[in-house]
Structure 1
Amino acid sequence: MQQYDLHGSHHGCQAAQVNMEARPIDAKMITRRCIVTKMKEFTMAKYRDLIQENAGALLIILPRNLTALSEDDRQHLQTVEKDFEEGSISIPVYFAEETDELLQIYDAIQLGNTGDQAASALEALMSGASANGFQMVVGGPQSKSLPDFQITNIQGHLSGFGIEEQLPTIAVVAHYDAFGVAPGLSVGADSNGSGVIALLELARLFSKLYTNSRTHAKYNLIFLLSGGGKFNYQGTKRWIEDNIENQESSLLTDVAYVLCLDSLGRSDNLFLHVSKPPKEGTAGHTLLQNIEDVSKSFFEEVKFKMNHKKINLAEDMLAWEHERFSIKRLPAFTMSSLESHKNPDRTSILDKRDSVEVSKLTRNIQILAEALAKHVYNLTSQGNLRLFSEGLEVQTDLVSAWLNQLTAKSRATQLLHKDHHLLSTLEETMNRYLKDVKRSTLKADKRDPEFIFYDGSQYVMSAYNVKPAIFDLFLAAGIVAYLGMVYLVVQNFSYKNQSAMRNDFFDVEKDVQNTTLKNTRIYV
Structure 2
Amino acid sequence: MSPSGEVVASVSSALAVLLVLLACVELGDAAAAVGVYRLIQYDLAGAPLGSRAAALNHHAAAFPLPAGADLSRSALVAPLLDLPLAFLREYLAEKKHLGGLLILLPRNISAKNVEGNNDDKGEPKNVLAELEKLLMHEEVPFPVYFAFHDDNLDNLLADIRKIASSGQPASASTGGYKLVVPSAEPKKVSSPTISNIQGWLPGSKGEGDAEQLPTIAIVANYDTFGAAPALSVGSDSNGSGAVALLEIARIFSRLYSSPKTRGKFNLLFGLTSGGPYNYNGTSKWLRSFDQRVRESIDYAICLNSVGSWSHDLWMHVSKPPENPYIKQIFEVQ
Q: Same fold (TM over 0.5)?
A: yes
CA–CA separation in structure 2 for the residues paired with 1:112 and 1:33: 14
Shift of 1:129: 6.0
- Does residue 264 (structure 1) correspond to residue 306 (structure 2)? The answer is yes
SS in 2 for 1:137: strand
CA–CA separation in structure 2 for the residues paired with 1:62 and 1:164: 61
- Does residue 20 (structure 1) correspond to residue 58 (structure 2)? The answer is yes
CA–CA separation in structure 2 for the residues paired with 1:89 and 1:130: 30
Shift of 1:130: 7.3
CA–CA separation in structure 1 for the residues paired with 2:236 and 2:87: 31
Structure 2 letter corresponding to 1:103: D
More helix by share: 1
SS in 2 for 1:134: strand
Shift of 1:270: 4.9
CA–CA separation in structure 1 for the residues paired with 2:312 and 2:64: 45
Identity across the alignment (%): 37
Mark the runs of 5 or more structure 1 residues left unpaired by the alignment: 118-123, 289-305, 310-338, 340-524
Structure 2 letter corresponding to 1:226: T
CA–CA separation in structure 1 for the residues paired with 2:136 and 2:331: 27
8 A Cα contact 1:203 1:223, kept in partner = yes
2:36 matched to which residue of 1?
none
Aligned pair in 2 of structure 1 residues 308, 173: CA closer, same or farther (>3 Å)? farther
SS in 2 for 1:180: coil
CA–CA separation in structure 1 for the residues paired with 2:312 and 2:131: 28
SS in 2 for 1:190: helix
1:279 matched to which residue of 2?
324
More strand by share: 2
- Does residue 11 (structure 1) correspond to residue 57 (structure 2)? The answer is no
Pick from 121, 133, 150: which aligns with 1:82? 133
- Does residue 72 (structure 1) correspond to residue 121 (structure 2)? The answer is yes
Shift of 1:93: 0.7
1:251 matched to which residue of 2?
293
TM-score, normalised with respect to structure 1: 0.47
8 A Cα contact 2:52 2:139, kept in partner = no
What pairs up with 1:96-495 in 2 under 5 angstroms? 96-116=147-167, 133-162=176-205, 166-243=212-289, 246=290, 250-267=292-309, 269-271=311-313, 273=315, 274-275=317-318, 276=321, 278-279=323-324, 306-308=329-331
- Does residue 34 (structure 1) correspond to residue 75 (structure 2)? The answer is yes
CA–CA separation in structure 2 for the residues paired with 1:49 and 1:180: 22
Aligned pair in 2 of structure 1 residues 52, 233: CA closer, same or farther (>3 Å)? closer
Structure 2 letter corresponding to 1:116: G
Mark the runs of 5 or more structure 2 residues left unpaired by the alignment: 1-38, 114-119
- Does residue 55 (structure 1) correspond to residue 98 (structure 2)? The answer is yes
8 A Cα contact 2:219 2:270, kept in partner = yes
Deviations along 1:60-104, one digit per CA (max 9) or x if unpaired, are: 112221101341323443333222233221100111221222222
CA–CA separation in structure 1 for the residues paired with 2:211 and 2:100: 59
Structure 2 letter corresponding to 1:160: G
CA–CA separation in structure 2 for the residues paired with 1:252 and 1:130: 69
The 10-residue stretch of structure 1 (143-152 or 5-14) with the greater mean CA deviation from structure 2: 143-152
8 A Cα contact 1:156 1:223, kept in partner = yes
8 A Cα contact 1:277 1:308, kept in partner = no
Structure 2 letter corresponding to 1:80: L
CA–CA separation in structure 2 for the residues paired with 1:272 and 1:81: 21
8 A Cα contact 1:170 1:222, kept in partner = yes
CA–CA separation in structure 2 for the residues paired with 1:144 and 1:179: 20
Shift of 1:227: 1.2
CA–CA separation in structure 2 for the residues paired with 1:95 and 1:204: 40
CA–CA separation in structure 2 for the residues paired with 1:164 and 1:95: 61
Aligned length: 276
CA–CA separation in structure 2 for the residues paired with 1:130 and 1:19: 17
CA–CA separation in structure 2 for the residues paired with 1:111 and 1:128: 17
Larger radius of gyration: 1
Deviations along 1:402-451, one digit per CA (max 9) or x if unpaired, are: xxxxxxxxxxxxxxxxxxxxxxxxxxxxxxxxxxxxxxxxxxxxxxxxxx
8 A Cα contact 2:216 2:298, kept in partner = yes
CA–CA separation in structure 1 for the residues paired with 2:174 and 2:139: 38
Aligned pair in 2 of structure 1 residues 234, 128: CA closer, same or farther (>3 Å)? closer
CA–CA separation in structure 1 for the residues paired with 2:72 and 2:311: 50
CA–CA separation in structure 2 for the residues paired with 1:279 and 1:307: 10
Structure 2 letter corresponding to 1:251: V
CA–CA separation in structure 2 for the residues paired with 1:272 and 1:49: 34
Structure 2 letter corresponding to 1:58: L
8 A Cα contact 2:256 2:263, kept in partner = yes
8 A Cα contact 1:13 1:88, kept in partner = yes
Shift of 1:180: 2.5
Pick from 93, 108, 111: which aligns with 2:144? 93
CA–CA separation in structure 2 for the residues paired with 1:269 and 1:102: 38
Runs of 4+ in 1 over 4 A off after TM superposition: 49-53, 127-131, 162-165
Q: What is the Cα-based RMSD across aligned positions, in Å?
A: 3.1
Shift of 1:52: 6.5
